Structure 1
Amino acid sequence: MNSILSYLTGVFGVYKRWCTWQRIFYLTITGSLSGLMIVQTEIADALIRGEVGLTWQPWVATYSSVIGFTIVSPFLIYCCELWPFGKAHVIKTTIKLALLYVPITFCFITAMLILRNIAHLLIDGTLFDGWDLIDRYIYEFPKAIAIYLIFIFITYTKIYYDNSQKEQLNAANLQNELQTIRMQTLRSQLQPHFLFNTLNLISSTVYQDADKADSIITRLGDLLRYSLATEQKPFVTFKEELQAMQSYLEISQLRFGERMELEISVEPSTELLMIPAMLLQPLLENAVKYGIEPSNETGKITLESDLIEGLLQIKITNPWHQRRQQQESFGIGLQNTKDRLKLLYQEQATVTLDNNNTDQVTLTIILPAQHMEQTNE
């Protein structure tokens, strides 16, 4: 009983999905055109047989067939949706469809005959014909097999097409979700790394120089506020990012004092271009880590930006004291930056590390020059 109710519920669901104006419109057009082509053949056959007086009969015969099959078609559609036709199920499904032909065709013929008789009674007051009912079913059964097979073929083609579209859409959605998760993972790797280093700096100075530690904490608060503000804001203007990074650079200068010199040269046309939030922080951190920290001598970090042929170019130059380590690896921050830019820009962004001479290295980032409306898209 439950299986019967489940089947009827499924059939009702098919009918419900069909009952939209768009489906009814397409069904009406398709049925009307198919019936029109068939009725021309019926009229031609009638004329060949010498039945010149026939006028409305071929129309009734044709469209009663079209409407009758339309009535039972949702049952057939539901069964096709229920029974997959893949390699693992082809034999089983073929047997089921062959057995289904009997009840589907019986219902189709019944609906067709009812419609024909109603039409004949309304038009000329007589029944459709004087054939024995069993003979009529025996006559119509083999005629229906062609339309049955064609309809099954079209239905399965539509099912596989819809499934293919859904799979492509699901794959695209999954790819977007994975990309978002990966981006979040990359950012979560950058921020704790920076936070850990800064907290170590505060810990090492809080007892030696309380004012310096207080200043570091204030600037750290500014950076954290900026970081939190960009959680839901993946892109910021280059000017916003640079202003936030001033806090980081000031923290570093408080740490190293006169050992660290800084020069910033920003092309005004680049200030309103959009870049990924927190892009500069790991790059500047590496410049300090590899350029200033290893040596007791004075070192200079240079930050430059320029707009060249529709591309934003950012350069960070710093002293180079650990040649082997920098050659072998970009480090966590730089590698994450490369991965992050590849996810955002594919092959349109590049990150390169070049040694200008024996004691300097320049990190160059090239991004597409985008304004706010472009990043929103």
Structure 2
Amino acid sequence: MPINVNKLNIKLSTLILLFTLAGGQFLWLHFTFHIEPLIAGVDSLGAYFLMYGLVLFIRYSPVFYIPKYIKYGIIEIPSFILTMLWVYFSKHALLEFFDHNQLYVDSWDKTIIGRIIIGWLLLSMAIICHLILAELKKAEEAVKLQEQAENLRKEAELFKLRQQLQPHFLFNSLNSINALINKQPKDARTMVQQLSDYLRNTLKKEDDRSVLLKEELYDLQLYLSIEKVRFGHRLKITEDMQVHNEATKVPPFLIQPLVENAIKYGLYGTTGEVAITISVKTFQGNLIFKISNPYDKDGVTVKGTGFGLESIKRRLYLLFARNDLLKIEKLTLKQDEHTAAVHLFVATLIIPIEYTKD
């Protein structure tokens, strides 16, 4: 997780600390060594103004971005050198103005050790803080690079999964068109037009992470129209759409594979009419897509759940980092003992509403 360092707060905190120390030095010089308030004030402010300049030098000097020699226990060497420079320039600059005040001149001999200790501690702290901030910045940049790499990996995998979904449907549609050309040319032309519209729409949203729900449902209707031409009277679709917010957004290419899976496994091995039920509604802050199809419990079972469902599970995890958004159930419905049981395969897709916000 990135660590946010407020640079303005650091600068303000540094200034407050230095002004506090300057105030303490003023009181020390005035009450302990009886230095005049004006001289004590100029001494304190001048010395710590120079100290602030050294802190900025540590902050921005390229030398301190090479922690090779000062990272492991050798911080005291550069801090001591800077301290001696601070004391030297402070003393000579201040005595240049106040050399006529013998009391102040003599106070330097009595305070120089204290000045060195305070300066050494402050500059050591400044170097340590600089190194810590530099390490935090490196760590934050590393985290950002890692997040970018992870996002690129997810995008690449999502793109790959989406690309793998289209050929299955396209091949089936082309085979159906080929079969219809001679027997039912009118239906073949209709199917070609519908397929063209569907593919055009899918290409438009190829790079989109989310699309309007109404657009996805429109493409679903195009897909269903194509499938109805393929299977004719055998395919019966029942729809229950209860979403009223047309601005709701969803990840593209999630609904169609579910319907394709239901049609594939619902019509597999059967010659009669098959009813596919599709419902869309909002419940507890989620969009709920439920698709059910009958299956023959005693018939030949197609192994696995199909590439479509597995790819949807993987895409949902990449988008939401959750494994509970696609639920698969097998239900048995029987009204009474005189009615044959109906076996249903139900797939429920859950999309959190927060994903739909711009």
TM-score by length of structure 1 reads: 0.74
* Partner residue, 2:90: 112
- 1:367 is the counterpart of 2:343: no
* Partner residue, 1:45: 32
- 1:254 is the counterpart of 2:247: no
CA contact (8 A) 1:202 1:213 kept: yes
Structure 1 residue 272 displacement after superposition: 5.5
CA contact (8 A) 1:270 1:305 kept: no
CA contact (8 A) 2:194 2:226 kept: yes
CA contact (8 A) 1:202 1:217 kept: yes
Percent identity (aligned): 22
In structure 1, C-alpha distance between the alignment counterparts of 2:15 and 2:118, rounded to whole Å: 23
Note the alpha carbon deviations across 1:106-150, whole angstroms, 9 max, x for none.
4323432343135437xx6999738999x9999965664323322
- 1:352 is the counterpart of 2:327: yes
CA contact (8 A) 1:303 1:316 kept: yes
* Partner residue, 1:11: none
* Partner residue, 2:215: 240
CA contact (8 A) 2:329 2:347 kept: yes
CA contact (8 A) 2:67 2:131 kept: no
Q: Larger deviation: 186-195 or 345-354?
A: 345-354
- After superposition, the Cα gap between the structure-2 partners of 1:34 and 1:222, relative to the gap in structure 1 and judged at 3 Å, is farther
* Partner residue, 2:23: 36
Structure 1 stretches lacking a partner, 5+ long:
1-19
- After superposition, the Cα gap between the structure-2 partners of 1:232 and 1:38, relative to the gap in structure 1 and judged at 3 Å, is farther
- Aligned Cα RMSD in Å? 3.8
Structure 1 residue 55 displacement after superposition: 1.9
Structure 1 residue 317 displacement after superposition: 1.5
- After superposition, the Cα gap between the structure-2 partners of 1:191 and 1:128, relative to the gap in structure 1 and judged at 3 Å, is farther
Structure 1 residue 336 displacement after superposition: 1.6
In structure 1, C-alpha distance between the alignment counterparts of 2:255 and 2:273, rounded to whole Å: 22
Match of 2:105, SS state, is coil
- 1:338 is the counterpart of 2:313: yes
Match of 1:315, SS state, is strand
* Partner residue, 1:276: 251
- Of residues 199, 223, 242 in structure 2, which corresponds to 1:224? 199
CA contact (8 A) 1:290 1:321 kept: no
- After superposition, the Cα gap between the structure-2 partners of 1:131 and 1:356, relative to the gap in structure 1 and judged at 3 Å, is closer
* Partner residue, 2:39: 57
- After superposition, the Cα gap between the structure-2 partners of 1:44 and 1:351, relative to the gap in structure 1 and judged at 3 Å, is same
Q: Larger deviation: 24-33 or 348-357?
A: 24-33
Structure 1 residue 347 displacement after superposition: 4.0
CA contact (8 A) 1:101 1:148 kept: yes
CA contact (8 A) 1:287 1:317 kept: yes
Structure 1 residue 338 displacement after superposition: 1.9
- After superposition, the Cα gap between the structure-2 partners of 1:157 and 1:24, relative to the gap in structure 1 and judged at 3 Å, is closer
Structure 2 stretches lacking a partner, 5+ long:
1-6, 333-341
In structure 1, C-alpha distance between the alignment counterparts of 2:193 and 2:38, rounded to whole Å: 92
Note the alpha carbon deviations across 1:17-51, whole angstroms, 9 max, x for none.
xxx998876654443233123322333322xxxx3
Note the alpha carbon deviations across 1:151-191, whole angstroms, 9 max, x for none.
22332333334344444444444444443333323322222
CA contact (8 A) 2:79 2:124 kept: no
- 1:71 is the counterpart of 2:35: no
- 1:129 is the counterpart of 2:105: yes
* Partner residue, 1:6: none
- After superposition, the Cα gap between the structure-2 partners of 1:376 and 1:314, relative to the gap in structure 1 and judged at 3 Å, is closer
- Of residues 306, 317, 328 in structure 1, which corresponds to 2:292? 317
CA contact (8 A) 2:176 2:230 kept: yes
CA contact (8 A) 2:257 2:309 kept: yes
- After superposition, the Cα gap between the structure-2 partners of 1:136 and 1:362, relative to the gap in structure 1 and judged at 3 Å, is closer
Match of 1:56, SS state, is helix
Match of 1:31, SS state, is helix
CA contact (8 A) 2:262 2:292 kept: yes
CA contact (8 A) 1:236 1:274 kept: yes
CA contact (8 A) 1:349 1:367 kept: no
* Partner residue, 2:336: none
* Partner residue, 1:184: 159
- After superposition, the Cα gap between the structure-2 partners of 1:84 and 1:173, relative to the gap in structure 1 and judged at 3 Å, is farther
Structure 1 residue 218 displacement after superposition: 0.9
Structure 1 residue 227 displacement after superposition: 0.9
In structure 2, C-alpha distance between the alignment counterparts of 1:249 and 1:114, rounded to whole Å: 90
